[in-house]
Amino acid sequence: MGFFEVFAAALAGFYALVGNYGLAIILLTLAVRVLLLPLSIKQTRSMREMQRIQPEVKKIQAKYKGKKDGRQQMNEEMMTLYKEHGVNPLGGCLPLLMQMPVFIALYRLISTPLAYMGYTLAGNDWVPGEAAPGIMAQVQESALARALDTAHVEVNSFLGIFRLDCLPLDVLRGSDGCGGGVIGFLPYLVLIGLMGFTTYYQQKQMQVQRGATTDPSAQQAQMIMKFMPLMLMFFSFQFAAGLTLYWLTTNVWSILQQHLMLRVAPAPPEPAPSDKKPVAQPTKGSNKPSTGKPPKGAPTKPVTGDPARLEGSKQPSKNKKKRR
Q: What is the pLDDT of residues 129-162, one digit of tens each?
A: 777 777 888 888 899 999 998 888 899 999 888 8
**Hey, which residues does 128 pair with through a beta bridge?**
119
Q: What is residue 163's three-state secondary structure?
A: strand
Residue 194 lies in a domain: yes
What are the CA-CA distances from residue 79 to residues 87, 125, 259 (Å)? 9, 57, 29
Please give the model's pTM, rounded to 2 decimal places: 0.70
Query: Which stretches of the chain are DSSP H helices?
Result: 3-18, 21-35, 37-52, 54-63, 71-85, 94-111, 135-140, 143-150, 152-156, 168-173, 181-210, 216-226, 228-236, 241-264, 307-323
Number of domains in the chain: 1
Mean pLDDT for 113-123 is 85
Residue 317 lies in a domain: no
Least confident of 30-34, 124-128, 285-289: 285-289
Residue 204 lies in a domain: yes
Amino acid at 287: N
Q: What is the DSSP letter of 212?
A: -
Q: What is the pLDDT of residues 225-244, one digit of tens each?
A: 678 888 889 999 989 999 99
Residue 276 lies in a domain: no
Residue 43 lies in a domain: yes
Residue 247 lies in a domain: yes
Residue 165 · residue 110 · CB < 8 Å: yes
Give the mean pLDDT of the chain: 76
Residue 242 · residue 148 · CB < 8 Å: no
Residue 8 lies in a domain: yes
Of residues 84, 54, 76, the one with CA closest to residue 218: 54
Residue 42 lies in a domain: yes
Alpha carbon distance 42, 48 (integer Å): 10
| Residue 320 dihedral angles phi and psi, to the nearest 5° | -60, -35
Report the largest interatomic distance among the alpha carbons of the chain, rounded to a whole angstrom: 142
Torsion of CA 237, 238, 239, 245, to 10 degrees: 0
Could you tell me the residue range of the domain that residue 12 belongs to? Answer: 3-264
Note the pLDDT of residue 245: 93
Q: What is the pLDDT of residues 252-266, one digit of tens each?
A: 998 998 888 777 655
